[in-house]
Amino acid sequence: MSEKKTFQKLNFDPLQIQMVQQVAELHEVPEGAYSFRLNGQSAAVQSSEHITIVKKEDKPGIDIYIAPGTKKESLHIPVVLSQTGLKDLVYNDFHVGEDADVVIIAGCGIHNCGDQESSHDGIHSFYLEKNARVKYVERHYGEGDGIGGVVMNPTTIVELAEGAYLEMDTTQIKGVDSTIRETRGTLAENATFIVKEKLMTHGEQYAETVFNVDLNGRGSSTDVVSRSVAKGKSRQKFLASINGNTACTGHSACDAIIMDEASVRAIPELTANDVDAALIHEAAIGKIAGDQLIKLMTLGLTEEEAEAQIINGFLK
Amino acid sequence: MLELKHISYTVESEGKPLSILQDINLTLDGRFIAFTGPNGGGKSTLAKVIAGIIKPTEGQILLDGQDITDMTITERAKAGISFAFQQPVRFKGITVKTLLDLAAGKRLSVHNACAYLSEVGLCAADYINREVNDSLSGGELKRIEIATVIARGTKLSLFDEPEAGIDLWSFQNLIQVFERMHRDIRGSILIISHQERILNIADQIVVLAAGQVQQHGAKEEILPGLLQGRSCIKTTGSCCGRKG
């Protein structure tokens, strides 16, 4: 077996290594294809036999070409910003060939210990060809003791050809002061788009999630599920718009726990433009149920420990 | 040993005081004590008073001589009281395994967690990673609730109508669970029930009605009267028992 490559060898500093662990759970340089972006610059890129990464010429970002039939390969594309006041904008386009089946792990971590705002706007476009399957995992994380804000505005554009499948797991648990997370999907015949969002805000944070899915092909389906916790004085807004333009199925759910003086607004929108479009939405916002706290306290947990368990479980 | 001294609980209803428990005095030192009596008689309230979920308006509670009256739910749990809810709580995202870990106060091996589930008649492998959410039936939830109390293994275990909401088939198994607990347990079990077969396992029976203790004694003394309906259980101050 080949020797594991460490991030020290790629000249990452200790803070950057720690952030990469936070957002991508990577303890060493992964095998296969990757692209690491540090402080607005490409820091390390590696293509593999079936996954080719090409730097864009006209704007910041990369094009990723995944060959048809590629199976069981993964691609890591984490972004780390550790320099205060940096405004990073990047375009990553994923071209996934027919019958490919891959896992893509993205994530953005910002460490801001200065007094200026740091921001990362990542625009990710996925073009899946016939019967391609992608599991896309992204994690957003902010930290730092400076007074400068951490801002992330990820945009995800998904175009699914016939029979294609994309599952997106998106998580923002901590430290992002302001975010507008926009996801747009267009689905052809028998395509499937699954979204699982986990979100927690605290302090004075603001998070807005916008989903817009067009079910254009017969037999296409989408399931958009968001679970969120709003603490402190944070505010959240959730908009999920599903348009059923043919015989299709769509479901969206927003399930939020509200605490302290937080505010959560959920706006589910369904549009059926075909008699065979079956669309459902659910939205529930509420505080932690008193009997849940009592049950865990009868097991010996303090009220604070019980609350933490309930939230951890909810966002797991 | 659990001692209840002059326990009363009064709430306000439509501007007037309403007495739920009236001057309850009990010394409970048996291994398996059943509380029974008509609905609305104060049984569940009394169990919640013992677990610390409801604070009595008057009276004192002693557990093995220690005054626990002012202790919180958490402190009482740590002092050795467990409570199985009549309507178990559901949690989105918390698995059966996590709930058992929390109950045991440590990370259980899968083998040990499964043993607790098998104890209550659940095929453990099917449940260990299930979430304690709406996907579980009332009967499954009830048995998991009982498993958490077994996992705690405290000196006093309270069960509030474990048979409620359980189908007949599950009930047969439940009886065996309690028979085993009666045989194996080192502490005391206090169980609220209307079921003859559960009352029949008990060493002692307490009949509670209209917020008062009507009878307290050995099963042999109390149960025959209850079954023959000769016993007079007060509900609203008048005698309602069927005369035999």
What 3 state SS string does chain B have? Answer: CEEEEEEEEEEEECCEEEEEEEEEEEEECCCEEEEECCCCCCHHHHHHHHHCCCCCCEEEEEECCEECCCCCHHHHHHHCEEEECCCCCCCCCCEHHHHHHHHHCCCCCHHHHHHHHHHCCCCHHHHCCCECCCCCCHHHHHHHHHHHHHHHCCCEEEEECCCCCCCHHHHHHHHHHHHHHHHHCCCEEEEECCCHHHHCCCCEEEEEECCEEEEEEEHHHHHHHHHHCCCCCECCCCECCCCC
User: Could you say which of B83, B95, B105 has the minimum Cβ distance to residue A298?
Assistant: B83
pTM for this predicted structure: 0.84
The residue in chain A having the minimum alpha-carbon distance to the alpha carbon of residue B95 is A313
Interface test with A, best of B54, B92, B101 (most A CBs within 10 A): B92
* Whole-number pLDDT of residue B30: 86
Measured CA to CA, the distance from residue B9 to residue B3 in angstroms comes to 16
What is the CATH architecture assignment of B2-228? 3-Layer(aba) Sandwich (3.40)
What's the rounded Cα separation, in Å, for the pair A67 and A52? 8
A289 inside 8 A of chain B by CB: yes
**How far B243 CA lies from chain A's nearest CA (Å)?**
41
Cα–Cα distance measured from residue A107 to residue A120, given in angstroms and rounded to the nearest whole number? 11
Do A3 and A130 fall into the same domain? yes
Total beta-carbon pairs less than 8 A apart between chain A and chain B: 61
The DSSP 8-state label assigned to residue A313 in this structure reads H
Domain end (from A150, A176, A202): A176
Nearest to A111 by CA among A89, A80, A139: A80
The reported pLDDT for the residue numbered B149 is 94
A119: confidence class by pLDDT, cuts 50, 70, 90 = confident
Can you give the residue range of the structural domain that contains A55?
1-176
| Overall number of domains in chain A | 2
Which residues of B fall within a CB distance of 8 Å from A290? none
Identify whether the C-beta of residue B37 lies closer than 8 Å to the C-beta of residue B211. Answer: no
Q: Which chain A residues are Cβ-neighbours of B148 within 8 angstroms?
A: 299
Predicted pLDDT of residue A106:
92
Q: What is the mean pLDDT of residues A199-214?
A: 94
Of A300, A314, A316, which has the smallest distance from its Cβ to B77's Cβ?
A300
From chain A, pick out residues whose CB is under 8 angstroms from the CB of B74.
297, 300-303
Enumerate the domain spans of chain B. 2-228
Check whether residue A17 and residue A130 sit in a common domain.
yes
Q: Report whether A297 contacts B77 (CB < 8 A).
A: yes
The reply to whether A185 falls in a domain is: no
Averaged pLDDT, A55-76: 95
Chain A residue numbers with beta carbons less than 8 Å from the beta carbon of B89 are: 289, 291-292, 294-295
Share of chain A above pLDDT 90, in %: 71
pLDDT of chain B along its 244 residues, tens only? 999 999 999 999 999 999 999 999 999 988 899 999 999 999 999 999 999 999 999 999 999 999 999 999 999 999 999 999 999 999 999 999 999 999 999 999 999 999 999 888 887 788 889 999 999 988 889 989 999 999 998 999 999 999 887 777 778 888 888 888 878 777 899 999 998 989 999 999 999 999 999 999 999 999 998 888 744 444 443 333 333 3
First to last CA, chain B: 36
Nearest Cα residue to B36 out of B189, B150, B160: B160
**Which residue, of A127, A142, A176, is where some domain finishes?**
A176
ipTM: 0.91
Q: Chain A interface, mutation test: which of B44, B54, B89, most A Cβ atoms within 10 Å? A: B89
Collapse the DSSP code of A303 into the 3-class scheme (helix H, G, I; strand E, B; otherwise coil) and give the result: helix
pLDDT at B240: 39
Contact A297 B102 (CB under 8 A): no
Three-state DSSP class for residue A267:
strand
Residue A193's region, left for phi above 0, alpha for psi from -120 to 50, else beta, is beta
Helix (H, G, I), strand (E, B) or coil at A233: coil
Q: What is the pLDDT of residues A133-179, one digit of tens each?
A: 999 999 988 887 767 788 889 999 999 999 999 999 999 988 889 99
> Cβ of A294 and B102 within 8 Å?
no
* pLDDT above 70 as % of chain A: 99
| Same-domain status, A162 and A242 | no
Give the mutation candidate from A295, A302, A311 for the B interface (greatest B CB count, under 10 A). Answer: A295
